[in-house]
């Protein structure tokens, strides 16, 4: 018997090795993908909690609208910031001369136009450091330095002209994390309510409110003791409000939806 | 037959194949390591966010619960008080505790109030002697105190290398509040004003039995509810008992008190009481902030009026330019013009010692209705407290670890028991590892 020829076993080809490594890489990447999904959920939880804290602040701000700040379009300096009751901010003026209108009137004038999603009023709610980090860590005297150990934060509600809250604006105001963008529209609770006061009788007129229609411009002609609105919270990703990809028309799922009743 | 002929003929990898596969492997390993590093970073951040948020939430939830149910009766008496530890001002209350660790006075105020929170004690503690029967408690108003303390969580609270900052909330049950605390408040008169501090700071608690809810391990009879610091394993104030522990690693609890004034603004200080005007001429119908400042730094009230420095809580309708740095609490274009101080004290919106809160007025520091500095000034702020904005700063686990390490180093300690580290180290840790959480809480009982 002649010895059989040794069998020829070839090694892995380059393609096989590449494929194997590719599959391994895919497996690792998918694992990392799962992890990143977990982290994005953590981030979402943080955002939702921030939105929950923002609800209380927003309600407080709508009850006291003179605490809402107004940021001009394209502003790059916080020096131009005013409050929305001041002249030269929201038009038409929320607190027309001689001024001193009740708080409800200001809020009403601000929110009454928000009859549909397209007409919604956008507000921004955010946490901000009291001063910039460079002002908070100095221990010696200075004209504009603050010996604040922890540099505490406070919450602010803002109206931005043109609704475009830019990263520059956020930096100017020492904003922590991502601000919340709040879309406010009139609530459907207004449906079939007699919302208009008849100026001849000073009684609510018989006409009933149809969802999507306009409310009286003058708060004194508004017939209810409260204004119900819906606030939808979105994380603000600094996208533009207008255009085909703008957030005004984009389909988004809000982090939080809150019904708010503003009392006279 | 040669063995070599039986050996199977196997071709090895070529050099090129080895090099290519090694290069691919290196690229993939590098990518995976980079992704893993990012993942660990994200993991650390997620852990820091979640743990600090959890601590902050327990504090803010409790504060929200208590402020929303706070009792502020319009009866001309003081129902709420905020005292700054370490205060050296003329208006500081008696027996004020010293500051805690590295904290500034304004960053760990002692909050004293009466409230009816849902989590108040509903039953009496079980007596240690027979019959061991507990009974339902009557009433709902409880005396409550918040403070940031520093102590070891273990058997020896004063142990030097285990000092942890924490928020402590002490709640006195409704019956003890009724029998011990409320009589002090209700006996207040204009001639002899009383405030919650008179209850919490007294050194003669008599037969009070406020420690019945646990074993009173470190609380000794006759110790006031709030006194100085934890210095040993005994004589600790009840407010720092572990029974009252709420959250750890909290290194600041900053307050902004939002108030309204029923008085019109004025351009000059006018003679009180008629006509009464807002001495700080804020625009009417606007919430105004009142906040604590540090008496120990250069920005106290003494320097405020002269140099224009200070924590400016500004609201104005002016239009000239300024920045958030000169009006940091809430931005205003110009710093408000404060009426000239005639002599002595003046009701300002900042305080460095104590703040006594009534339903319709607020007394900062040492001002009182019977002690006005001049007859031309209002001796108090004509404000009603509507909301409190609380910001707590919590250290991440990493930051807490670094702080504990520095506290345990003998060379870094600037005081006994390892309670302090060098000021700049502390500030760096807080700036880098502190997470701030804010909540705006409305005082429902006072029209907030």
* Confidence check: pLDDT of B390 > 90: yes
Does the pLDDT value for residue B49 go beyond 50? yes
**Taking all residues of chain B, what is their mean pLDDT, rounded to a whole number?**
76
Model pLDDT, residue B417: 59
Determine, for residues A79 and B333 on separate chains, whether the beta-carbon distance falls below 8 Å: yes
Give mean pLDDT, residues A185-214.
93
* B427:A143 CB<8 A: no
Per DSSP (E only), the strands in chain A are: 8-9, 69-71, 82-83, 121-129, 153-160, 175-186, 197-198, 203-204, 226-235, 256-263
Q: How confident is the model over A134-145, as a mean pLDDT?
A: 51
Tell me the C-alpha distance between A165 and A159, whole Å. 9
Q: Decide if B106 contacts B97 (C-beta within 8 A).
A: no
Q: Work out the minimum CA distance from A77 to partner chain B, whole angstroms.
A: 8
Whether B283 and chain A come into contact, CB under 8 Å, resolves to: yes
Cβ contact, residue pair A60, B431, below 8 Å: no
Asked whether the beta carbons of B83 and B199 are under 8 A apart, the reply is no
C-alpha span between B63 and B169 (Å, rounded): 9
pLDDT exceeds cutoff 50 at B302 = no
User: Is the Cβ of B286 closer than 8 Å to some Cβ of chain A?
Assistant: yes
- Predicted confidence (pLDDT) at residue B110 exceeds the cutoff of 90: yes
pLDDT at residue B264 tops 70:
no
Pick from A123, A131, A159: nearest CA to A233: A123
pTM of the model as a whole: 0.84
**3 state SS of B28:** helix
Highest mean pLDDT among A98-102, B30-34, B166-170, B443-447 belongs to B166-170
Taking an 8 Å cut-off on Cβ atoms, the answer to whether A8 and B319 are in contact is no
> Residue A150: which of B9, B251, B333 has the nearest Cβ?
B251
pLDDT, tens digit, 9 for 90 and up, residues B285-294: 778 888 887 6
Nearest to B213 by CA among B170, B152, B184: B170
The contacts of residue A140 (CB under 8 Å, 6+ apart) are none
Least confident of A145-149, B97-101, B196-200, B244-248: A145-149
Picking from B252, B309, B323, the nearest residue to A149 by CB comes out as B252
Tens of pLDDT, residues A13-32: 778 877 887 888 788 778 77
Q: How high is the pLDDT of residue A4?
A: 53
Q: Is the pLDDT of residue B336 over 50?
A: no
Determine the distance in angstroms separating the CA of A145 from the nearest CA of chain B, rounded to an integer. 8
Mean pLDDT of B44-66: 92
**Mean pLDDT of the region B365-378:** 49
Confidence of residue B382 (pLDDT cuts 50, 70, 90): confident
Over residues A156-176, the pLDDT tens digits come to: 999 999 999 999 899 888 888
Arithmetic mean of pLDDT, A187-208: 92
If you average pLDDT over residues A245-255, what whole number do you get?
Answer: 86
pLDDT band at A220 (very low <50, low <70, confident <90, very high): very high
Q: What is the pLDDT of residues A89-106, one digit of tens each?
A: 898 999 888 878 899 999
Least confident of A57-71, A123-137, A248-262, B291-305: B291-305
Residue A18 has, within 13 A of its CA and on its CB side, a CA count of 6
CA distance B440 to B256: 9
**Residues near B29 by Cβ (< 8 Å), separated by ≥ 6?**
none
- pLDDT tens digits along A35-75: 778 778 878 888 888 898 899 999 999 999 988 989 989 88
Does B252 contact A150 at a Cβ distance shorter than 8 Å? yes
* Mean of pLDDT values over B341-365: 72
Strand duo A153-160 + A69-71: pairing:
parallel
Burial of B340 (0-12, 13-18, 19+ CB in 10 A): exposed
- Residue B292's contacts (CB-CB under 8 Å, 6 or more residues apart) are B82, B84, B105, B106, B109, B255, B350, B351, B352, B355
- Residues B395 and B250: their CA atoms lie apart, in Å, by 6
Look at B294 and A28 and tell me if their CB atoms are within 8 Å.
Answer: no
**Beta partners for residue B149, in sequence order:** B166
B377 near B344, Cβ under 8 Å? no
Query: A129 forms bridges with which residues in the sheet?
Result: A153
pLDDT band for position B340 (50/70/90)?
very low
The overall average pLDDT reported for chain A is 85
Residue A242 distance to chain B (closest CA, Å): 28
More confident residue, B400 or A12: B400
- Span of A109-118, A128-137, B203-212, B362-371 with lowest mean pLDDT: B203-212
pLDDT in tens, B148-172: 998 887 777 777 778 899 999 989 8
Q: Quick check: B280 pLDDT over 50?
A: yes
Residue B343 CA: distances (Å) to CA of A100, A187, B222: 33, 55, 41
Q: Note the pLDDT tens digit of each residue in B77-103.
A: 999 999 988 876 666 787 788 888 888
Residue of B189 and B234 predicted with greater confidence: B189
- Confidence band of A217 (pLDDT split at 50, 70, 90): very high
Sign of CA dihedral B168, B172, B177, B183: negative
Question: Which residue of chain A has the CA closest to B386?
Answer: A60
Per mean pLDDT, which range of B214-228, B267-281, B304-318 is the poorest? B304-318
CA distance, residue B88 to nearest chain A CA (Å): 18
Could A154 and B427 be called an inter-chain contact, meaning their C-beta atoms sit closer than 8 Å? no
Separation of alpha carbons B176 and B357, rounded Å: 22
Q: Could you report how far apart the first and last alpha carbons of chain A are, in Å?
A: 110
Spell out the alpha helix ranges (H) of B240-376.
Answer: 301-307
- The winner for highest mean pLDDT among A210-219, B33-42, B326-335, B412-421 is A210-219
């Amino acid at each position: 018997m002649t010895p059989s020829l040794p069998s020829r076993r070839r090694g892995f080809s380059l393609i096989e090795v590449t494929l194997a490594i590719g599959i391994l890489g895919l497996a690792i990447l998918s694992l990392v993908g799962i992890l990143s999904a977990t982290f994005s959920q953590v981030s979402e939880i943080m955002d939702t909690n921030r939105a929950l804290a923002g609800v209380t602040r927003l309600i407080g701000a709508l009850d006291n609208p003179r605490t809402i700040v107004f940021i001009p379009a394209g502003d790059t300096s916080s020096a131009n910031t005013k409050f929305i009751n001041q002249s030269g901010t929201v038009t038409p003026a929320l607190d027309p001369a001689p001024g001193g209108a009740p708080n409800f009137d200001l809020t009403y004038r601000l929110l009454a136009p928000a009859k549909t999603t397209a007409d919604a009023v956008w507000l921004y709610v955010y946490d901000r450091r009291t001063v910039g980090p460079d002002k908070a860590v100095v221990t010696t005297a200075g004209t504009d330095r603050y010996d604040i150990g922890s540099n505490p934060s406070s919450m602010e509600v803002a109206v931005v002209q043109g609704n475009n809250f830019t990263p520059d604006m956020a930096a100017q105001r020492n904003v922590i994390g991502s601000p919340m963008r709040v879309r406010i529209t009139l609530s459907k609770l207004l449906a079939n309510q007699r919302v208009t006061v008849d100026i001849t009788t000073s009684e609510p007129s018989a006409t009933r409110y149809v969802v999507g229609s306009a409310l009286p411009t003058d708060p004194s002609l508004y017939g209810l003791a409260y204004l119900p609105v819906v606030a939808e919270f979105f994380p603000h990703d600094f996208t533009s409000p207008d255009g085909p990809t703008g957030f005004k028309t984009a389909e988004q799922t809000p982090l939080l939806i809150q019904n708010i009743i503003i009392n006279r | 037959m040669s063995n070599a002929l039986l050996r199977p003929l196997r071709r090895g990898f070529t050099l090129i194949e080895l090099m290519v596969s090694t290069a691919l492997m290196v690229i993939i390993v590098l990518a995976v390591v980079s992704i893993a590093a990012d993942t660990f970073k994200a993991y650390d951040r997620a852990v820091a966010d979640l743990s600090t948020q959890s601590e902050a939430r327990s504090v803010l939830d409790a504060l929200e619960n208590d402020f929303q149910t706070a009792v502020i009766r319009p009866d001309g008496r003081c129902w709420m008080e905020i005292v700054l530890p370490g205060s050296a001002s003329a208006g500081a209350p008696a027996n004020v505790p010293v500051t805690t660790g590295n904290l500034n006075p304004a960053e760990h105020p002692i909050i004293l109030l009466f409230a009816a929170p849902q989590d108040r004690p509903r039953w009496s503690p079980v007596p240690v002697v027979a019959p061991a029967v507990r009974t339902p408690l009557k009433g709902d108003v409880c005396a409550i105190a918040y403070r940031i303390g520093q102590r070891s969580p273990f058997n020896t609270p004063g142990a030097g290398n285990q000092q942890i900052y924490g928020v402590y909330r002490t709640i006195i049950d409704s019956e003890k509040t009724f029998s011990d605390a409320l009589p002090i408040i209700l006996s207040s008169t204009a001639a002899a004003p009383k405030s919650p501090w008179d209850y919490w700071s007294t050194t003669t608690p008599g037969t009070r039995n406020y420690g019945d809810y646990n074993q009173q391990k470190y609380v000794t009879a006759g110790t006031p509810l709030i006194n100085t610091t934890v210095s040993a394993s005994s004589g600790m104030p009840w407010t720092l008992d572990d029974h009252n522990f709420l959250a750890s690693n909290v290194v600041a609890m900053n307050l902004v008190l939002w108030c309204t004034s029923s008085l019109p603004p004025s351009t000059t200080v006018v003679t009180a009481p008629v006509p009464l005007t807002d001495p700080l001429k804020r625009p009417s119908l606007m919430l105004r902030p009142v906040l604590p400042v540090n008496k120990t730094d250069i920005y106290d009230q003494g320097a405020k009026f002269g140099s224009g420095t200070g924590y400016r809580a500004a609201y104005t309708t002016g239009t000239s330019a300024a920045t958030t740095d000169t009006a940091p609490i809430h931005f205003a274009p110009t710093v408000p013009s404060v009426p000239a101080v005639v002599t002595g004290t003046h009701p300002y919106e900042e305080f460095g010692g104590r703040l006594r809160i009534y339903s319709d007025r607020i007394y900062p520091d040492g001002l009182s209705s019977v002690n006005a500095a001049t007859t031309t000034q209002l001796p108090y702020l004509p404000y009603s407290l509507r909301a409190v904005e609380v910001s707590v700063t919590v250290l991440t686990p990493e930051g807490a670890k670094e702080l504990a390490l520095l506290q345990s180093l003998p060379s870094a300690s600037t005081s006994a028991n390892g309670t302090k580290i060098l000021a700049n180290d502390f500030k760096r840790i807080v700036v880098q590892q502190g997470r701030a959480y804010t909540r705006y809480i409305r005082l429902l009982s006072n029209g907030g």
